[in-house]
Structure 1
């Protein structure tokens, strides 16, 4: 039974969108699309009296594609969120427009710069995303806007067409709903023979009790909050295996060949890499190397995904620190010194690309710090000086970026604006890290009084004690690096006497 058939009396809305955190490659920003769904879209749909379903909420034992396609056809309303220009969302929107002439609503975060030609003449309702969350007032505004839009669309008789396919192809007849549903059920029955008889964990299952993707990811979130990294890793491996099985079944059902497009979810791999290296199991080094392997399918050397680059940089920075402390080497291809330098170079390249793609304080301050690390390690004066000077320039840019960020943040806001204490603490943490980065940048360029003023203010708003400890440890490390100033290699240039020019005619 498809999810929308459980209650025939209630109309259904299917939501097309990505889930989890996704990178908007136009702006380099990372948006938490779950916040869009949970705080605005789902409440807005339910307020209009419809049952709201997203793909990760579908309970199914086989291919997710079967119930998804059926919902694209039969849902009374479809809301398509095109934020971050998600390829799957555009594809599914195209299917909906081809199948149904009406009741499709397109929304997107207002940071999107351009839409493809085929979509830019369709009405798009926009909302403002803060990146990690949605502001309470904006959530209320967009909920109301979406509720009213759904009610108005369904109240019209006859319902107006909103599909460009049926607008431009005047004589096109939409498929008969009953016949299409019968065809899809036949396809689902045929595909059932390809389904595994066990769950991803190896237990017999008929599929009725399989948890949805969203339910599993909620458990992942709880494990992450509790810093139970091994449990988080276990859950993510279950999700990863489930998705791999689904892709395999789809290829078998449709006789597709595996290709470069058969890619894993970047957010899933990023979170799995995080849980893997944080677990430090079976050893810290083994965990870091395993995390690096998890990220490898995302092509860290060529990707424009700043989350992947930040994770890749963090892993190699930690590997470099670890091998530096233990005097061990990660591989035995070359001498340990060269291997260790290669790890540091890899971390610097990742943070550098992430910084210039995203233009943000986090990647920038890490990039500058590692440049100072490499300058302190270098035995070549010219290279040490070049890294030192570049680090100073990046810190000056970070100071300005932090100024811009702080200028648009109003903190603290009035208590009634926050939906929960957790939301207020999250906002305080975001502001803290901006100020900590700015304070470190001022410290790095030698403006110590300004650095102390900003850092003390940051300490006053820190929602967690460990944040202050982390900043103090970072400043202590930076102090040591700056004491090793490579500009000491520069000696005053000897004055070169002017050459006498020959007289004319000589």
Structure 2
């Protein structure tokens, strides 16, 4: 008997929840929580990026929404595609649909309030070990329960409220269309299956290669591979040659990051290309803190190369907007640094003093944000090595940021102590180098303080 299947409706990569301002890594939700739980229930698990296909992904995606024995729909970050696909599933099937979401979601559309939603807790970059165990067990038991019940409970509001509605069959014409489209389609859960069956490469497998190249510091290869993924995922064009829908922000964000890190063919040209990519996401008006952080980083580097003040102005606007939206230490510490940079180059003493004082104020807010992060993210116990490394990376940046903030407000002793703690756990050498470079540039800006113009009472 063929193994039952579960299709997972979920975004991939890092997505911003605009309601809370948090950014969640949905790949961690899928790989750490959902897929292990589904497989523990005895089902084959797949999401759209694991389908090897020719032509549009829409056909196999719709086929999965119709024929999968179970569909798990993750509505975290209020993903529009997830809501749409959940609606299709509810219209097609009266039962065997499970809806889940990260527990930071404050509200759902009225129509979804009638649906049971199972919640899990996401830390943003990763998911705690105890939460992984809890939710995997919950989801596995839920899948087994809905498959073992006879008769099955209706979980689709469509069939709940329209009692006499019969679910559609897969008509012969549709069957023929799907067979033609899926002759070259194989759902592959691992690389060996994909290469053996089709000789093709899924989006998921390509993304693994991107991750590997980036971890090895081969940013040019990572950028090239991600460019291929972008081409695979490009929406169709309308009659005017314009894309029929926006591209996925995660792909554009990450491609911009890899582009400027590649420094190919030159550092300045790679930064200009990254700037062009980010323009697709409308950074001047965006509320996406990932986009704003990248926009700030690229403009900050372009100012460092060219000394063009317009880049400095754009970087300050981006970091300030990002910090105000999310109160995160990354945007905040960079904003404070750039206020010091601007204070050092302005010809107005009043403006210089104002910027210098602003930098100090933001650093104090950054310290509060760092303390909050430490409270919310205690060092995990009994966690797998990969998750432990992820926590250590985040902890490094929090400690390094605290160190820079203390140095910036004049408490050098505390700052140096925190630097020692950060350097002791730095997983990668470049992380320490990045911190050292920033503080090295900051120190002369602090020693040449415009506050010397202020007369003491």
Alpha-carbon distance between aligned partners in 2 of 1:380 and 1:321, rounded to the nearest angstrom: 21
Residues in 2 aligned to 1:463 and 1:239: alpha-carbon distance in whole angstroms: 29
SS of equivalent residue, structure 1 residue 118:
helix
Contiguous gaps of at least 5 residues in structure 2:
184-196
How many residue pairs are counted as aligned between the two chains? 444
**1:382 corresponding residue in structure 2:** 350
Residue equivalent to 2:221: 231
- The answer to whether the 8 Å contact 2:114/2:157 transfers is no
The reply to whether residue 57 of structure 1 matches residue 50 of structure 2 is yes
Give the 3-state SS of the residue equivalent to 2:71 in structure 1. Answer: strand
Cα separation, partners in 2 of 1:150 and 1:257, compared to 1, 3 Å: farther
Aligned to 1:241: 231
By how many angstroms is 1:349 displaced? 0.6
- If the length of structure 1 is used for normalisation, what is the TM-score? 0.84
- Identify the match of residue 123 of structure 1 among 84, 104, 116: 116
In structure 1, the gaps of 5 or more residues are: 1-7, 193-206, 325-339, 494-506
Residue pairs, 1:64-213, within 5 angstroms:
64-176=57-169, 178-179=170-171, 182-183=173-174, 185-186=176-177, 189=180, 208-213=198-203
Q: Distance in 1 between matches of 2:241 and 2:151?
A: 45
What's the CA shift string for 1:409-432, capped at 9, x where partnerless?
323x44xx1212x32222112111
Structure 2 partner of 1:496:
none
When normalised by structure 2's length, the TM-score is: 0.92
State the secondary structure of the residue aligned to 2:101. Answer: strand
Give me the whole-angstrom Cα distance separating, in 2, the residues matched to 1:461 and 1:217.
Answer: 28
The CA distance in 2 between the partners of 1:312 and 1:11, in whole Å, is 45
Q: Secondary structure at the match of 1:216?
A: helix
8 Å Cα contact 1:66-1:188 kept in structure 2: no
Q: Quick check: 2:329–2:401 contact (8 Å CA) kept in 1?
A: yes
**1:296 match:** 279
Match for residue 281 of structure 1 among 264, 269, 279: 264
* Offset at residue 112 of structure 1 (A): 1.1
Indicate the structure (1 or 2) with the bigger Cα radius of gyration: 1
Q: Is the counterpart of residue 476 in structure 1 residue 444 in structure 2?
A: no
Q: Secondary structure at the match of 1:353?
A: helix
Q: SS where residue 19 of structure 1 aligns?
A: coil
Q: Choose from 21, 25, 42 the match for 1:28.
A: 21
Asked whether the equivalents of residues 236 and 243 of structure 2 are also in contact (C-alpha less than 8 Å), the reply is no
- Say if 1:61 and 1:208, in contact at 8 Å, map to a contact too: no
Indicate the residue corresponding to 1:456 in structure 2: 420
Summarize deviations over 1:458-496 as a string: whole Å, max 9, x none. 223223333333322222211110112122333479xxx
Aligned to 1:47: 40
- Give the Cα–Cα distance (whole angstroms) in 2 for the partners of residues 72 and 464 of structure 1: 42
**Aligned Cα root-mean-square deviation (Å):** 2.1
How far 1:217 sits from its partner (Å)? Answer: 0.9
**Residues 1:408 and 2:368 aligned together:** no
1:78 alignment partner, SS class: strand
The 8 Å contact of residues 70 and 184 in structure 1, kept in 2 or not, is answered as no
* More off after superposition, 62-71 vs 113-122: 113-122
